[in-house]
Structure 1
Amino acid sequence: MRGQIYIFGGYTVAEDHSERSTPEVWRFDPASETYTHITDIPVPVDDTVALVHQDRYIYLVSGWHDTDNVDLVQVYDVEEDRWFEATPFPGAPVFGHAGAIDRDNVIHVCGGTRVVPPPAPGEHRSFAATADCWLGSLGDDPSQIEWSAGIDVPSGAFYRGAAYRDFRAIVFVAGTDNAYNYNGIGYNGEPSEPRSDTLTFIPRPADLRECEAPRIRAGRSAPIGHWGTHEGIRFMDIRGVVQGNIHGNTRTFALGGMGANQTVRDTVVELPRFVMAAEDTVLYALICVDPPVVGSDPNQPRHKTFISPANHEPL
């Protein structure tokens, strides 16, 4: 972001296996290879999601704080070196989730692991990976988020993968469906294995939100988006990705992570780009029909506007 790399929080593990979330925030300058300690996170979190908005704000959505998840959305203002809170996350607080912001300034957050309360007094709580997705619309006020429920990940729970924007799609890559702590062994005692799929979510274009009833043809209301499934890259625990413009092309990379059999990786992998398929275009090529004018001939053809999702303009 602005030629700098920001590193937020994390956690430490003591000899007794207790964990502590760390508040430190570091800014790394690749040109000078120097680190600068900037303003700490007000409520330290780890396993959170960091999202960049307007090349100025970095949103930390939910995450783990010391002993439990939090529903906080903490926002760092790069220009003023200060933190403020935004509208809280509405779902069950999670850690190990993934997210990105689409072209219409909508946050997409999916997956993660929630805390399940003890079933009875004296028993232990448990952890459950989730497929839940949430959407958050951003407006002029960076502290206000209009949250709504999204469409769940179709292939089940998604944990410790990553998400990134590719053209109009939000890509969810890597990860696992079996939640674990730091060693790759699930809370259920079973070894976690990487997912075998990569998922793309094509959001409904903002134009169509303005073209719904009464103008949209009866029975043709648009869904909020559409999931696609592709071959996976089979590793997990990457938490995030690095995107950059190289010779005019946006390229996306994942560093390290954990592969099959809890093998820690030292590789850098370029992640795929996805071109919107024809069926995705058809999905949103809805027909908006002007309502009849009072007193006009009901048999007179009315003006039709075809909305193209590829360029968000009438055809």
Structure 2
Amino acid sequence: MADLDRRTALAAGFAAMLGPSAACAAGARWEPRADIPWPVQEVYGTALGETVVIAGGMAPSQGAVNPQDRTGIYDPAADRWREGPRLPFPRHHPALAAAGGKVYAFGGFRETEAGSWVAIPDALRLDETWTPVAAMPRLQCETVALGLGERVHVVSGRAPKGAANAGWRDHGDIDLHQVFEPASGRWTTARPCPEARNSATGAVIDGRLYLAGGRRVGEGNSARLDRYDPRTDAWETLRPMPKGAGGLAGAAAGGKLYVFGGEGGPGMIPECWSYDPKTDEWTAEPAMRTPRHGLAGAAVGGRVYAIGGGVKESGGQVSAVNEALVLG
């Protein structure tokens, strides 16, 4: 722990030395793109070829912010959205990932007639409709799902601690690492991630999975960065983020990991950072134009997209904003 604390302090000091001029020198900038046709937060996204897919989440309706069943498909080249098939029922926090040319959605929460949110094990594949596939053997919500080769890795998150399954305090953080093989429909488990947490983000770079940030129930945000190598089924802990963030988003572009947004800073977290695996260093990138949490992140064509999200902590002000980080 002492070494980890020292590395956290070093990283924070490094970030403090990077002012706006350092970020501008790299030539990166955020640009507005076509808004989603509906506002949504607590939403995940994934790139599939040259498109981005989002599904579910929470949006204003009937005087409240409620789970959604809508799917959005974004074409960055045309800067245009279209609506895809509806989910079987509304849900928020379904984690999306692409593998083998298909998009999959895992878990999330449904709303009961009593108004409670219940974690679900559902797994779906996007075809002409959302088609059920083998459900997750264990509940895993507010998780990170990433396609790695022909498999999908579902890592970290939170799950019910006991029979209760209706609220944040009913749940505990988990280090669970489940792996789905679409070709066979089989689920297996891999080595757990080094720290249990939820609402993290991640990406795949050079065949290895990166898991960044997140938060712990009752303990606040994490700045951890961990890397998983499927060839050895082993994790290693890397230089932590300059600042802890939960409810953030991320994507990989140009061999680097980009993370942005989140909440609990206190308030919204506007910062964006990139991580270079070759140097184990973080670099400050331009701050977000519209700081958000519970947003989707994806990278297509050398640009990183920040999609939807809430502009206030928790719920209450949902956004349809879509912005792109144009890399220098």
Match of 2:179 in 1: 75
Question: Could you list the runs of 5+ residues in structure 1 that have no partner in the other structure?
Answer: 116-125, 179-191, 205-223, 276-315
2:197 is equivalent to residue 97 of structure 1: no
Work out whether 1:200 is the aligned partner of 2:274: yes
Q: Show the counterpart of 1:36.
A: 131
**Aligned counterpart, 2:156:** 62
Residue in 1 that maps onto 2:191: 87
- Aligned mates of 1:62, 1:239 — CA distance in 2: 18
Alignment of 1:140-155 (within 5 A): 144-154=232-242
- TM-score by length of structure 1 reads 0.63
Amino acid at match of 1:271: A
Cα offset for 1:76? Answer: 0.8
Indicate the structure whose relative CO is greater, using CA pairs within 8 Å and at least 6 residues apart.
2
1:272 aligns with 2:325: yes
Normalised by the length of structure 2, the TM-score is: 0.61
Distance 1:238 1:160 in 2: 5
Letter in 1 for 2:327: F
User: Closer, same or farther in 2 for the Cα pair 1:81/1:252, shift >3 Å?
Assistant: farther
Aligned residue runs from structure 1 range 124-163, under 5 A: 126-139=218-231, 144-154=232-242, 156-163=243-250
**1:96-245 maps to which residues of 2 (within 5 A)?**
96-103=199-206, 105-115=207-217, 126-139=218-231, 144-154=232-242, 156-178=243-265, 193-204=267-278, 225-233=280-288, 234-244=290-300
Q: Secondary structure at the match of 1:257?
A: coil
Aligned residues: 217
Residue 52 of structure 1 and its aligned partner are, at CA, apart by 1.1
Contact 1:63 1:94 in 2 (8 A): yes
Call closer, same or farther: CA 1:80–1:240 in 2, change over 3 Å. Answer: farther
Partner of 1:308: none
1:113 & 1:16 partners in 2: Cα distance? 28
| CA distance in 2: counterparts of 1:9 and 1:201, whole angstroms | 28
Q: CA RMSD in A?
A: 2.2
Larger Rg: 1
Aligned partner letter, 1:158: A
1:253 counterpart = 2:308: no
Q: 1:63 offset after TM fit, Å?
A: 0.5
In the TM superposition, structure 1's runs of 4+ consecutive aligned residues that sit over 6 Å from their partners are none
Any conservation in 2 of the 1:175–1:195 contact (CA below 8 Å)? yes
User: Displacement, 1:71?
Assistant: 1.1
- Structure 2 CA distance for partners of 1:53 and 1:64, relative to 1, 3 Å: same
| CA positional deviation for 1:13 | 4.9
How many angstroms apart in 2 are the aligned matches of 1:35 and 1:83? Answer: 19
How many Å apart are 1:146 and its aligned residue? 1.5
Match of 1:148, SS?
A: strand
Question: What pairs with 1:275-290 in structure 2 (closer than 5 Å)?
Answer: 275=328
| Inter-partner Cα distance in structure 2 for 1:193 and 1:8 | 28
> 3-state DSSP class of the match of 1:107?
strand
Distance in 1, matches of 2:123 and 2:188, equals 15
Residue 143 (structure 2) pairs with residue 48 (structure 1): yes
Aligned residues of 1:23 and 1:43 also touching (Cα < 8 A): yes
- Asked if the contact 1:157–1:176 (Cα under 8 Å) also holds between the matched residues in 2, the reply is no
Following superposition, the deviation at residue 64 of structure 1 comes to 0.9
Structure 2 portions without partners, runs of 5+: 1-97, 161-170
Alpha-carbon contact 1:73-1:86 (below 8 Å) kept? yes
